[in-house]
Every structure is written in C-alpha cells, then in structure tokens.
Amino acid sequence: MKTIGIIGGGQLGLMIAEQAHVLGARAIALDPAADAPAFSVCDEHIVAAYDDAAALEELCRRSDAVTYEFENVPGEVLVPLCKRYNIPQGFRPLHDSQDRLREKRNAAEHGLRTPRFEAVDDAASLRRAVDALGMPCVLKTRTMGYDGHGQCVIRSEEDIPAAERLLSVPCILEEFVRFDFEASVVLVRDGRRTVSFPVGRNIHRDGILDLCVVPAAMPDGLRGRMVEASERFMESAGYTGILAIEYFVRGDEFYFNEMAPRPHNSGHYTIEGCTTNQFRELVRYLLGEELVAPELVSPTVMKNILGEDLVSAERIAAEGRQGVFVHLYGKTESRPKRKMGHITFTGMTAGEYDREWAEGFVGGVTAR
C-alpha cells in the first residue's frame, strides 16, 4: 500500500487524504497545528512547522510521494528534499507562484495575457507606476498575500498615502481590470496528458471566494480558448501535477490573475459535480496512475461556509436534501471569514440557487 505525504493539514489536505483512501492509498500530513483538520482523516501525522527541515524529511521518508497544500513552503527546505525524495511537482511551480511579480512575468512568458503591471519598491516607483498604468489600479504585496490581504485599490490621488503603507515590502502595481466576472480552471498533468475540470465562475465577497457556479455562463468559444491557453501554459512552463488558474473575464478576453499548484477552493464542486474530482486526479498523478478526464454531472453551485454561516450549514446538513452535500472541515475554532466548510448543490443553476438558498446565508450573495 502506498502512502501519500501532504505538506499542510488544512481542508485541502483533508480532501486529498479522503481521495487517497478512495484509491487505496494511505495518507500522512504535516502541519504546525495539533488540531489540523486533515489529521482526523490521515493515517499518520506530524506536528511541525513548515520550515522544520528534519520534520519535512521525516514526512518524505514515510511517504511514497509527497505533495503540498500549503503555498509558502520555503524553497531552502523543499529544494534539497526534492532531490532525494519523490515530490513529483517539485519546487518550481510553487516558486513561480510565491511572488506575484514573478508569477505574472512567468504567465506572460508562457503565453497568457495578464493585466498590465509594474514592480514597485518605494514611493517614487509607485508614483511612476501609477502614472504609467493610470487609475484605478491595485497595489499588492509581492509575497504572502491571500484572499485580498496585502492589497490596496488606488482610485484617486487621495488613496496613495494609504497604499504607501504597503511599501515596507516589495510590491506590484496592476491595472484594475473592470472584469465582467472571475473564472478559474483546474488542470492535472502527468507529462503525457492533461485533464482539465469544467470552468467555474467565481463570486467573491470581501476578497474571499463565496460561490462557484458551474458551468460558467460564457460563450463556448471563449471557454475553449481559456482551457486551451491554460493547458498550453502548463505544458510550456513544464509543470506536472495539479494547477489552478484564476482569470478575470472582460468581453471576450481573459486575463491571468493568479495560479496555485495545489487543489483549489473553486474546484471543490468537482467532488460531487463531476465524474472524478481534483483531489482524486492529483492522487492518481502522485501514484503514477493513468489520469481520468472529468465530465460535469449536472449544473452545480458551490457555496463556501465561513464562520458566520456555520449555523445555516449545520441546519442544511440536518435536512439531508437530495443533491445537497455539506462538507464541514472540523475546525475547532470558528471565526467570521474563516473557511469552515462548503456546500455543493448539484443539479442546481445560478437562478435556482438564488431563489432557493441565497437568503439562507449571512449576506445572501446571489449567484447571478
């Protein structure tokens, strides 16, 4: 029996471990928190920091193949391990995504259109970049940003002093894309073939993904170009394993926003919404098995459950409605804005979700 090692024990690790079991493999996760969600599902676990080289080595030693669900594993620790153990995705896709400037340059180099951007390091370069890109624009820290943290939209001169507060670390300034909607693609590539999951339309609330609607309502031609460009990008960049790419869509153009070489929140719908899911195909890749191309089972809506929606989610779980799948991650501490679970509504269009479910959640965000 093979063992999959997972660096990170959050909900992504939990769902990787579940699918490892489905495919007859064991799972071991490493996480700094003793109560990490994945630990309850894994066969073994290690409590240690992500930069604890000895602990990461122990994880590798106990695994046949290792993957990561945490994006900020330091290269100094991971690179030496990649040489000695089976970490088939390697460090490079992680390295390319850990810095927003490098990430955008890399995307552009491999054929994806990005919003225009400039490197910014101080007030003078911010001034030059704002003049070059025009307003509105978005200043982001190059590293460690997530879910809208470390970002500042500059709409007018008055916003510049607040933006300058981000400049204690290197930043990137991007043109503000007045997008019609956001979309994402999850791909898994084993070097021979690439399988891609149906494009989802993502609706964010306060910078955090709230809903993912599949299929994304968009012309087939545009959808096809987005999937093809994503596959070409992955091949051109030489990545294998799993990759999620987020785009802004405006008219019939799409702009690369960011990527993650791990399962993605917008791909959670695949567990019940598709014939195979993002976690299972990642595990197949790790086990060296042939990948299976997914098919969408039915229109599906995925709703993230943040702390404030936990009570509603528990009520919905108790109702046990057909086609409604409640996933709670078992996090011991619930906080507003913390991802506590998600619900997948299969056989559900955006309009049906809005009529039946939207109001049952705090904020009541609609899917259309």
258 lies in the site for ligand AMP, by CB under 6 A: yes
Name which of 89, 147, 122, 121 is nearest 282 in CA terms.
89
8 Å CB contact between 81 and 87:
yes
DSSP β-ladder status, 194-196 and 171-175: unpaired
- In whole angstroms, the minimum distance from the beta carbon of 183 to ligand AMP comes to 11
DSSP β-ladder status, 44-47 and 26-31: parallel
181 lies in the site for ligand AMP, by CB under 6 A: no
Q: Given the complex with ligand AMP, which of 31 and 175 has the nearer CB atom?
A: 175
8 Å CB contact between 76 and 33:
no
Q: Which residue has the tokens 């990461």?
A: 56
| Member of 176, 205, 287, 296 binding ligand AMP (CB under 6 A) | 176
Site map 196..225 versus ligand AMP, x via CB under 6 A: --------x--x------------------
Q: Given the complex with ligand AMP, which of 26 and 342 has the nearer CB atom?
A: 342
Name which of 257, 285, 293 is nearest 182 in CA terms.
257
- In whole angstroms, the minimum distance from the beta carbon of 144 to ligand AMP comes to 11
59 lies in the site for ligand AMP, by CB under 6 A: no
Is residue 58 within a helix (H) or strand (E), and if so which, with residue range? helix 53-61
182 lies in the site for ligand AMP, by CB under 6 A: yes
Q: Given the complex with ligand AMP, which of 252 and 359 has the nearer CB atom?
A: 252
For the record, the structure tokens of 33 come out as 């928190």
Q: Given the complex with ligand AMP, which of 80 and 136 has the nearer CB atom?
A: 136
Q: Given the complex with ligand AMP, which of 140 and 189 has the nearer CB atom?
A: 140
Binders of ligand AMP among 100-159, rule CB under 6 A? 115, 138, 145, 148
171 lies in the site for ligand AMP, by CB under 6 A: no
DSSP 247-311: EEEETTEEEEEEEESS--GGGTTHHHHBSS-HHHHHHHHHHTPPP----B-S-EEEEEEEGGGHH
Is residue 231 within a helix (H) or strand (E), and if so which, with residue range? helix 220-237
Among 15-23, 24-32, 38-46, 169-177, the segment contacting ligand AMP (CB under 6 A): 169-177
- In whole angstroms, the minimum distance from the beta carbon of 145 to ligand AMP comes to 6
Among 101-109, 175-183, 187-195, 339-347, the segment contacting ligand AMP (CB under 6 A): 175-183
- In whole angstroms, the minimum distance from the beta carbon of 31 to ligand AMP comes to 23
Q: Whole-angstrom Cα distance, residue 113 to residue 251?
A: 14
Q: Whole-angstrom Cα distance, residue 192 to residue 240?
A: 9
- In whole angstroms, the minimum distance from the beta carbon of 285 to ligand AMP comes to 25
Q: How many residues bind ligand AMP (CB under 6 A)?
A: 12
DSSP 101-134: HHHHHHHHHTT-----EEEE-SHHHHHHHHHHH-
| Member of 257, 304, 344, 349 binding ligand AMP (CB under 6 A) | 257
Residues found near ligand AMP in the complex (CB under 6 A): 115, 138, 145, 148, 174, 176-177, 182, 204, 207, 257-258
